[in-house]
Amino acid sequence: MPEMKISFLGTGSGTSTNRAHTAMVYDCDDGTRLLIDTSSGNSVAKNGSELGIPVASYDQVLLSHHHPDHLSGLLFVQFVRALERQDAPALEVYLTEETLEWAQMMCTSSHLNVFEVDDTGAKNSDGRQVMNWNTVKSGQEVSLGPTTKASCFDADHISGAVGWRVESNGLAVVFSGDTRFNPNLVEASKGARLLIHEAFCTDEEAKRANHHGHATAGDAARSAAQSDVKELVLTHLDTVFHQDQQPLLDDAKKHYSGPISAAFDLRQITVDG
């Protein structure tokens, strides 16, 4: 039976104060390791080290969108990785065209040992290629390992934002990215084992969530029910829910009868099927 281990390195919303920003690691059935979003600052390195997952172990990153709580940690990931692993090939970064524009601007403006940035990738001051850009379009499938593939779908958040479906040895996990309730996600999640969906707040605050381009816990659960996934995990939680996720779980249970839980930093789960 195929398995996938998921390590949550960051599970807070962009405005959260006591959780790291969004990042996850998927350890796939065929040995492929994927970093999904890069949080901000050094959270990927710090929380990864708590779980025995060094930055040097990443070869592939999937990005959902250019907001700094998802993208800006990339600077430190490539920096630490290149130092720790001098013989490493370039980090393969999968992102949309619009996210790439922002990633290029970020690299150019920060110069965190990124010396040269062009449309193919980035080089450091030694002239070494440290990142390769792989631009993707909605629905396009990319091969990431012997039995691992991924495809993105448009999110309803900001222009260029996507969610990701990753499938390894027939086991599919879908990550919503940041999004309002998203019919594209429902379609892309059909037959998936697990849906990891952002849940900014409760249904009572639906207007606020919608205004900021986010989903409520109820939206996440409706997506899980409509796509008939086997399990739902809520993430990207705002500060007010960091101690007590029950209001979110209570809302979600009204719409979806499968297992529901909330992510927290350093949580690890293994799904099979």
- Contacts to Zn ion by CB under 5 A: 14, 67, 69, 178
Smaller CB distance to Zn ion: residue 82 or 185?
Answer: 185
Least Å distance, CB 58 to Zn ion, is 20
> How far apart, in whole angstroms, are the C-alpha atoms of residue 239 and residue 13?
8
Least Å distance, CB 93 to Zn ion, is 18
Q: Which two tokens stand for residue 169?
A: 């040895």
Distances (CA, A) of 179 to 33, 41, 176, 182, 223: 25, 23, 7, 7, 12
Smaller CB distance to Zn ion: residue 67 or 165?
Answer: 67
Least Å distance, CB 63 to Zn ion, is 11
Smaller CB distance to Zn ion: residue 121 or 177?
Answer: 177
Smaller CB distance to Zn ion: residue 67 or 193?
Answer: 67
> How far apart, in whole angstroms, are the C-alpha atoms of residue 80 and residue 72?
14
Taking a C-beta distance cutoff of 8 angstroms, is the pair 5, 270 a contact? Answer: yes
CA nearest to 39, candidates 2, 72, 75, 88? 72
Sheet holding 148-154, edge to edge: 141-143, 148-154, 162-168, 171-175, 194-198, 232-235, 260-262
Least Å distance, CB 158 to Zn ion, is 6
Smaller CB distance to Zn ion: residue 76 or 193?
Answer: 76
| Tokens 């900021």 belong to residue | 212
Least Å distance, CB 178 to Zn ion, is 4
Least Å distance, CB 70 to Zn ion, is 6
Smaller CB distance to Zn ion: residue 144 or 263?
Answer: 263
CA nearest to 73, candidates 9, 154, 137? 9
Least Å distance, CB 149 to Zn ion, is 25
Smaller CB distance to Zn ion: residue 161 or 188?
Answer: 161
Least Å distance, CB 49 to Zn ion, is 23
Smaller CB distance to Zn ion: residue 64 or 113?
Answer: 64
Q: How many CB atoms lie within 10 A of CB 117?
A: 18
Q: Which two tokens stand for residue 174?
A: 């879908």
> How far apart, in whole angstroms, are the C-alpha atoms of residue 6 and residue 226?
23
Residue 256: CA atoms inside 13 Å, Cβ hemisphere, count? 28
> How far apart, in whole angstroms, are the C-alpha atoms of residue 234 and residue 55?
25
